[in-house]
Amino acid sequence: MPGQEEWKRNSAREAAKLVRNDMLVGLGSGTTVAKVVKELVEKGTKARFVTASIATQKLADRLDLNLTTLEKGTGLDLTIDGADEIDPNLRLLKGGGGAHTRERIVTGAAEELVIVADSTKLVEKLGEKNPVPVEVIPFAYEYVAGLIEEYGKRSELRRTETGNPYVTDNGNYIVDLRTDPVNNPEKLREDLDKIPGTVDNGIFTDKPDKALIGHEEGCRAVETKEQHRELRRALK
């Protein structure tokens, strides 16, 4: 969608303005984060970056951003990451690109977390549009998928276009759990984490500092439940 691509660019442009040359910055994954990378290159940033996915790493490396790694005792000044869904409490559903396990590390290490997304990602409840992705180790994945399915309507092993299991950057599989809209994301995240063989899931309940929501008329910073619902109403 050409319009949606421009909305993502509006969000990315505002996020890039937050990055100073003296910062150590985490970058998540996804199409909007990719646009952030390009905006940062365009403004000639001298900041250092830690990437949460191989795809973002390859793009940033190709465009000559200054890449480094997350070492013991090192924190990030800022992480910029995307989301597949954002509810009014700024809880997130992530993992459409399969990088949510690494993203949790990079977001957790940041002093400030900013989410970049377009307005189609705003929902009333997580799970309205997308399944909950659960990263699992390949061993006995069918058995583990059955345990995961007990917490939703059905589970599906994510596959590539060729029909092979999708393999994450960590060498694992992803089971997508189809659910009704989730009333208690914290509880579902906790329940899924307890299943043997799971690595991590795409529910993020720690509130980001703000979400930069790109839309047709520009970009709006969303920090509260009221701002989330006001923007959704305005864009209907």
Q: Is residue 81 annotated as involved in ligand binding?
A: yes
What are the angstrom distances between the C-alpha of 60 and each of 18, 40, 45, 97?
Answer: 18, 10, 12, 17
Is 152 marked as a binding-site residue? no
Check the annotation: does 211 bind a ligand: no
171 is in an annotated binding site: no
The answer to whether the CB of 103 falls within 8 A of the CB of 27 is: no
Residues annotated as catalytic (active site), given as ranges: 103
Instruction: Check whether 31 is labelled as a binding-site residue.
Output: yes
The answer on whether 83 is annotated among ligand-binding residues is yes
Residue 207 CB neighbours (<10 A): 15
Residue 97 marked in a binding site: yes
Residue 158 Ramachandran class (φ > 0 left, ψ -120 to 50 alpha, else beta): beta
- Is residue 197 marked as binding? no
84 is in an annotated binding site: yes
29 is in an annotated binding site: yes
Do 196 and 182 form a contact (C-beta atoms < 8 A)? no
- The C-alpha atoms of residue 102 and residue 100 are separated, in whole angstroms, by 6
Pairing of strands 173-178, 132-136: antiparallel
Question: Phi and psi at residue 148, in whole multiples of 5°?
Answer: -65, -40
**Annotated binding residue at 101?**
no
Q: Is 82 annotated as a binding residue?
A: yes
Q: What is the DSSP string of 115-163?
A: EEEEGGGB-SSTTSSS-EEEEE-STTHHHHHHHHHTTSSEEEE-B-TTS
**Which two tokens mark 211?**
């979400």
Annotated binding-site ranges:
29-32, 81-84, 94-97, 121
Annotated binding-site ranges for substrate:
29-32, 81-84, 94-97, 121
